[in-house]
Chains A and B, each alone.
Chain A
Amino acid sequence: MERPLRLITANPLDRLARTVEALLVVASAPLTLAELAEAADDEAERIEAALRLLSERYAEGRSGIVLERVAGGWALRAAREASAACSRLLERPAQRNLSQAALETLAIVAYLGPCSRPDIARIRGVAADSAVANLLERGLIAESGRDDSTGGAIRYCTTPLFERVFGLDGLSQLPRLDDVGADAEQIRHRLHTVADRRSA
């Protein structure tokens, strides 16, 4: 549905939409509905309506600016069609050159977090120190308290930046990984065969 961009309109919501728009422009991180409502000094339901209006206005393909729901809030970003130009202007240290080790560590923290370095090392079978330090530096994970059991090891969880970089509204949007596939059964079968041979 194509609709001309109307900056001035009789719609009573339009004034509020302009306020929300302004708040989103000055914010450097996603704003939650509650934050928007408090800053705009209006009701959450009306803010939601204003956001719907803005979402329509700032949709991919309609504007260079896109309004998106991300990391538990609302934020403006550049349109995808401008990404090449943006890449010539900006560095993106948070997501550039993420190694396999870093991605695996990130996955463990995202799915099982908060978890400690020993937890990560136990799953990956190798020390997690450098991968964790790398992700910390990128700001994709952050410290989140200490373990009660294993000598008070520091525990880590993912940051809102992680959700933003990966375009997630929250960790609940991560896909379920219960079905590992048929080869898991196959591995189990082979291991049992070896076990039988040893006990025999």
Chain B
Amino acid sequence: MIVRELELDLDAFEGPFDLLLTLVLKEELDLRDVDVAGIVLAFIERLAERHELDLEACGEFLVLIAALLEMKARGLFPEEAAELAELEPEVAAEELARRLAEYRRMKEAAGWLRDRLAAEGDRYFRIGPAPLAPAVETPLAPQEPEALAAVLRLLAADPPQVSLGHMALRFPPVAQFLERFRSVLRRRSRFDFDTEVRGLDRIEQAVAFLALLDLRRADEVTIDQAAPFAPIRVARRPQENVVRSTQDNGARDERTVEWNARSA
């Protein structure tokens, strides 16, 4: 990629970069009108099209664009050197001499300060904050001591006990439902669980279900459900099984195994 052949399409100029440089150097084109950022953008776009970094081109471009920027900056902000150049030679020489003399005076003053510092360097003194600085006043509205005491009393009092009652769930005892179901089963051989617990809240229904499972575990009932979410039907077991189960733990264990295997 040859930087000088970079095609530019700017407001003030259209054509290759090389021509732009020539025109600027011949002062036929005012750099103040040239959008340098536009040139940089054009170069970056060309660079991006190539998919590989052409370091040589980048270096050349940097040098050229830097020179261009410097020239433009000088054009935009006329320096004092330029002002001097416009002066008559005698006036310029006089101005230069005046400035040199001023600088020489200051350099001499700096030398005097250096000597003075060396001579006074053995004077040690205390350095602190600005003397007699006005005390910083923090304005405070007049206050009633009683008001402060009242606030302190408020702070000293024990805070009211916060009730945690709403956090505890009240579970009715499982035994309550065990008794209830047993009494139902004494009157009739089967009942519908859903009908039995209708009207109870969710917690009570859950505890009732636990009681039901307990009864099943003790082999007092059989549970039957036609389909998921269908009514749960509870039936009383033949009495001799219950008696046997309470008398013979070993036999009950066997039945549990049998029941587990069957349900599996």
Binding site for B on A (CB under 8 A): 27-31, 35, 68, 75-78, 80, 82-83, 86-87, 90, 92, 94-95, 98, 100, 103-104, 106-108, 110-111, 122-125, 161, 164-168, 174-175, 177, 180, 183-184, 187-188, 191-192, 194-196, 198-199
Contact = CB atoms under 8 A, between A and B. Distances in A.
B93 A191 contact: yes
A111 B124 contact: no
> Which of B80, B92, B96, B97 has the largest count of A CB atoms less than 10 A from its CB?
B97
Given A166-B113, A195-B92, A75 B100 contact: no
Contact of A177 (B93, B108, B128, B131): B108
A28 B89 contact: no
B132 interface: yes
Contacts of A167: 116, 119-120, 123
A198 B89 contact: yes
Nearest to A104: B110
B128 A83 contact: no
B117 to A, nearest CB: 6
A28 B91 CA distance: 52
Interface in B93-122: 93-94, 96-97, 99-114, 116-117, 119-122
Interface string B183-209: 000000000000000000000000000
B90 A28 contact: no
Main DSSP-derived SS at the A contact region: helix
Contacts of A76: 125-126
Nearest to A200: B89
B136 interface: no
A142 B133 CA distance: 17
Contact of B90 (A107, A110, A164, A199): A199
A90 B124 CA distance: 9
A164 B125 contact: yes
B4 to A, nearest CB: 34
Nearest to A25: B126
B129 interface: yes
A75 B104 contact: no
Interface of B: 80, 88-90, 92-94, 96-97, 99-114, 116-117, 119-132
B106 A192 contact: no
Contacts of B127: 28-29, 94, 161, 164
Given A107-B110, A123-B106, A188-B97, A98 B117 contact: yes
Contact of B113 (A78, A83, A92, A106): A106
A194 B93 contact: yes
A180 B108 contact: yes
Nearest to B111: A103
A175 B124 contact: no
B128 A191 contact: no
A107 B106 contact: yes
Contact of B132 (A35, A188, A195): A35
> Which of A35, A82, A184 has the largest count of B CB atoms less than 10 A from its CB?
A184
Contacts of A175: 109, 112
12 contacts: A76-B125, A78-B125, A82-B124, A106-B113, A108-B106, A177-B105, A187-B101, A191-B93, A192-B93, A194-B89, A194-B93, A195-B92
Contacts of B88: 199
B186 to A, nearest CB: 99
B96 A191 contact: yes
Contacts of B103: 123-125
Given A123-B106, A125-B103, A191-B94, 11 more contacts: A28-B126, A29-B128, A77-B126, A92-B124, A111-B109, A123-B102, A166-B116, A177-B105, A191-B96, A191-B97, A199-B90
